[in-house]
Amino acid sequence: MAFRFGLSTVLKHRQRMEEVAQREFAEAQGAVDECLRAIEAMYQRMDEVREEILLAQKEGDAHHLHQIVEMEGFLNGQKVRIDRLRLKARELLVVAEIKHEALIEAAKEKKILVKLKEKRFAEYKDRLNRIELKELDDLTQMRTARRKL
């Protein structure tokens, strides 16, 4: 008489659901990380352009004046692009948070079934121990009865 958990197919399904939720959360978090890296790179490029502007200002001739105007235009455009990416990052963070909550819920649902399986297995072991003890008591009684004869 081997242990069989009647809800093993449900448990497997919940495990798969948790794995899917983990994968979806990882993808959402990856998208957030990628967006934040892009924003960081944009800020870094802005710092580089500001340094280039400072160098061009030190030179101070007409050719560099045109470059400075172009670089200032780039900085203004970069600020707009960063603002757009920040909005996108916020949206991605909301999606990642939703996926994280789904992952937590899937993990809870699976854990409930795992605990139920453990409880049922403990009950099964107790039942086997009781049967075994009863058989040992019966054998002991039979031996005692034989000795009396």
DSSP 98-146: HHHHHHHHHHHHHHHHHHHHHHHHHHHHHHHHHHHHHHHHHHHHHHHHH
**Angle at 78 (CA atoms; ends 72, 81), nearest 5 degrees:** 155
Digit-coded pLDDT (tens) for 108-130: 999 999 999 999 999 999 999 99
In the chain, where are the structural domains located? 8-116
State the pTM of this model: 0.74
- CB burial class (10 A; 0-12, 13-18, 19+) of residue 32? buried
Digit-coded pLDDT (tens) for 19-57: 999 999 999 999 999 999 999 999 999 999 999 988 888
